[in-house]
Amino acid sequence: MGLGREGKKEHHHIFAKKQKKQKQKKKKKVRVGFVKTVIEKKYVLVTGGVVSGLGKGVTASSIGLLLKACGLRVTSIKIDPYLNTDAGTMSPFEHGEVFVLDDGGEVDLDLGNYERFLDIKLTRDNNITTGKIYQSVLEKERRGDYLGKTVQVVPHITDAIQEWIERVASIPVDGKEGPADVCVIELGGTIGDIESMPFIEALGQFSYHVGPGNFCLIHVSLVPVLNVVGEQKTKPTQHSVRGLRGLGLTPNILACRSTKALEDNVKAKLSQFCHVAAENILTLYDVPNIWHIPLLLRDQKAHEAILKGLNLLGVAREPDLQEWTARTRVYDILHEPVRIAMVGKYTGLSDSYLSVLKALLHASVACRRKLVVEWVAAGDLEDVTATEAPDVYKNAWDLLKGSDGVLVPGGFGDRGVQGKILAAKYARENKVPFLGICLGMQIAVIEFARSALGLHDANSTEFDPETSHPCVIFMPEGSKTYMGGTMRLGSRRTYFKVPNCKSAKLYSNASFVDERHRHRYEVNPNMVPQFENAGLSFVGRDETGRRMEIIELPSHPYFVGTQFHPEFKSRPGKPSALFLGLIAAASGQLDAVLQNYGNESKLLPNGISNGKPSVKTYQNGNAIKSSNGSLNGVYSNGNGVHH
């Protein structure tokens, strides 16, 4: 039965009203400078071609920073096409470190880059994986939400991806009300990967759905130079763009990774074959450190190309990167080294400890020191290595003894534990500044029990379930059956129980701090009185007073262990308090730091003084103002630390 003329008119009127409402929902008012402007939600997609590991994450972060410097509010999404629900169960060897968010999300390390560059706090939903998408669609199917339809990749999976992006892009991440102006989306993997096909299809539909002027695609590709010829080769990028266009996406901007700046004739060739304007072809050539990348993009007018593609040229201002530039210059001229021994088991891959390296770097720049990380494989310090490979054993101990400070990061499993215990013992007995994080703190407690209390079989039940002196025990709420998402995760509050301790002073005499956690085991509270009687102080605890969070050795210049991971909230302008303490102690500046920080006003819960981004440095009375940034070995010499 038809609607009739009046019915049709009414139906058309209702549909038009619905569309108008949806469009109005999309728009929001924002104040940029002093002009009130209506900005529709804008999206920037960053894809990669030719090879993986080109630095899409750093590029996406730098673009976000550049847009933020133009006065826009920015959020970020990382798409990982793997089937894992999250990064929590993946080995650091496989995928680099697992970055932990405030809400307990275990996510890809690129989200750490976004947080550091943009000084924002993301949520677990800002990391989209194939596993999450399929899980949500299958849950809907089981509930009967699809009303008996055949559930398919197109349209159900692709629709779920688009809905997820739109929903997450509206979550404020910068502490202000209302959604951001621009959402930067990074698609993991390389164009052509089978696993990323549903995402490519969804993003092609999404670009059409949001309409022209609201979507800008930046394709990061490789322009290699063959040593024999010495010529920059464009063919890999041509093929990559052809593949992208064949999948329904057309790049607005090409960001070309190469050892040197692209020659004009190479740009002209790429423009001709890839159908991208020559002024929209950017070179991301090798630089001393990646704090230069946003400046590199600005100098090539990348912001103008992006703003033009998003119809924001009349709204945004010129990028203000003064503080960023000043910080980059300071970093470039540092020459007096501070050597930190990193004693861990994933030393073959620096990405395994990426946030720890960043936190060390932020603190080093604040103390005007050039960071040198000495990688020490924990197993190489053990007696068994002395027998099997004496040269390796000697080299490891030489590195440890030649360092100004020792850091034992977090980890899981019993490999290298004895070596870490020996490193903690060396630092404690020789008054070398020491910072133990998560497992590193537990190691320090075990070593103290064995050496100071004479409990030679003291151990963690993680390594020896039958130990007669369990210093570290499994948490009551943990699960031994399911590995994923069952740890104590995310931001938890730590209360200082000893007001005058070094940790409290470094946190500007705060009464509590909120830091991020990721652990299954904890210090046995029943043994705490024994430890404290022997001189080990548990200065920070949770709200119950039964969960140990921070240890200190008052008789030592700087011997600190934390159950939480302070590295996850470190920023270039706001170095983590305890990392700052380690670097300051290792470079002879701790007293000055404690004096300065002890006199400052109380900290806010995020561990940053009054929420202000400035940080004092303690040499020549200089101070560096805040900027946002990060470091990643892609654009440096491979270790991402010193050059």
Confidence grade of residue 443 (pLDDT, cut at 50, 70, 90) = very high
Place of tokens 């630089």: 287
Query: Taking phi first (over 0 means left), then psi (-120 to 50 degrees means alpha), and beta for anything else, what does residue 97 get?
Result: beta
pLDDT higher than threshold 60 for residue 636:
no
Dihedrals φ, ψ of 212, to 5°? Answer: -65, 145
Q: Give the helix/strand (H/E) hosting 13.
A: helix 4-26
pLDDT in tens, 214-229: 999 999 999 998 877 7
Give whole-number Cα distances, 460 to 53, 403, 490, in Å.
37, 28, 23
CA–CA distance, 46 with 59 (Å, rounded to integer): 8
What pLDDT, on a 0 to 100 scale, did the predictor assign at position 634?
Answer: 34
pLDDT higher than threshold 80 for residue 593:
yes
Among 22-31, 199-208, 345-354, the least confident range: 22-31
Give whole-number Cα distances, 332 to 287, 292, 643, in Å.
11, 10, 9
pLDDT in tens, 277-298: 999 999 999 998 889 999 999 9
Our separate counts of H helices and E strands in the chain read 21, 25
Q: Model-level pTM?
A: 0.85
Dihedrals φ, ψ of 198, to 5°? Answer: -60, -35
When the pLDDT of each residue in the chain is averaged and rounded to a whole number, the result is 85
Q: What is the mean pLDDT of residues 41-47?
A: 96
Task: Show the DSSP H helices in 144-274 as ranges.
Answer: 158-169, 197-210, 235-246, 264-274
Which amino acid is it at 371? L
pLDDT higher than threshold 60 for residue 558:
yes
What pLDDT, on a 0 to 100 scale, did the predictor assign at position 479?
Answer: 52
**Residue 567 designated active-site:** yes
**Residue 40 designated active-site:** no
Listed residue (402, 345, 424) closest to 379, CA to CA: 345
What pLDDT, on a 0 to 100 scale, did the predictor assign at position 12?
Answer: 43
pLDDT in tens, 477-511: 555 554 555 678 999 999 999 988 999 999 999 99
What pLDDT, on a 0 to 100 scale, did the predictor assign at position 488?
Answer: 86
pLDDT higher than threshold 80 for residue 406:
yes
What pLDDT, on a 0 to 100 scale, did the predictor assign at position 413?
Answer: 73
Q: Specify burial of residue 40 (Cβ count, 10 A radius: 0-12, 13-18, 19+).
A: middle
pLDDT higher than threshold 80 for residue 563:
yes
Give whole-number Cα distances, 441 to 76, 336, 446, 521, 535, in Å.
33, 29, 9, 11, 16
pLDDT in tens, 232-279: 999 999 999 999 999 999 999 999 999 999 999 999 999 999 999 999
Give whole-number Cα distances, 107 to 87, 489, 505, 576, in Å.
5, 12, 32, 20
Q: What percentage of the chain has pLDDT greater than the value 90?
A: 70
What pLDDT, on a 0 to 100 scale, did the predictor assign at position 351?
Answer: 82
pLDDT higher than threshold 60 for residue 398:
yes
Q: Who has greater pLDDT, 412 or 519?
A: 519
pLDDT in tens, 101-127: 999 999 999 999 999 999 999 999 999
Q: What is the CA radius of gyration of the chain?
A: 26
What pLDDT, on a 0 to 100 scale, did the predictor assign at position 627?
Answer: 34
Confidence grade of residue 230 (pLDDT, cut at 50, 70, 90) = confident
What pLDDT, on a 0 to 100 scale, did the predictor assign at position 484?
Answer: 52
pLDDT higher than threshold 50 for residue 17:
no
Confidence grade of residue 456 (pLDDT, cut at 50, 70, 90) = confident
Which residue out of 70, 274, 438, 471 is catalytically annotated? Answer: 438
Q: What is the DSSP string of 189-217?
A: S-TT-GGGHHHHHHHHHHHHHH-TTSEEE
pLDDT higher than threshold 60 for residue 445:
yes
Confidence grade of residue 30 (pLDDT, cut at 50, 70, 90) = very low
Q: Who has greater pLDDT, 526 or 416?
A: 526
Among 140-154, 198-212, 484-498, 560-574, the least confident range: 484-498
Confidence grade of residue 39 (pLDDT, cut at 50, 70, 90) = low
CA–CA distance, 392 with 317 (Å, rounded to integer): 56
In this structure, how many other beta carbons lie within 10 angstroms of the beta carbon of residue 452?
Answer: 15
In this structure, how many other beta carbons lie within 10 angstroms of the beta carbon of residue 76?
Answer: 31
3-state secondary structure 456-470: CCCEECCCCCCCCCE
Which residue out of 106, 201, 522, 567 is catalytically annotated? Answer: 567
Which amino acid is it at 480? K
What pLDDT, on a 0 to 100 scale, did the predictor assign at position 485?
Answer: 52
CA–CA distance, 476 with 484 (Å, rounded to integer): 17
pLDDT higher than threshold 90 for residue 597:
no
Could you give the angle at the alpha carbon of 50 between the alpha carbons of 48 and 53, nearest 5°?
A: 60
What pLDDT, on a 0 to 100 scale, did the predictor assign at position 581?
Answer: 96
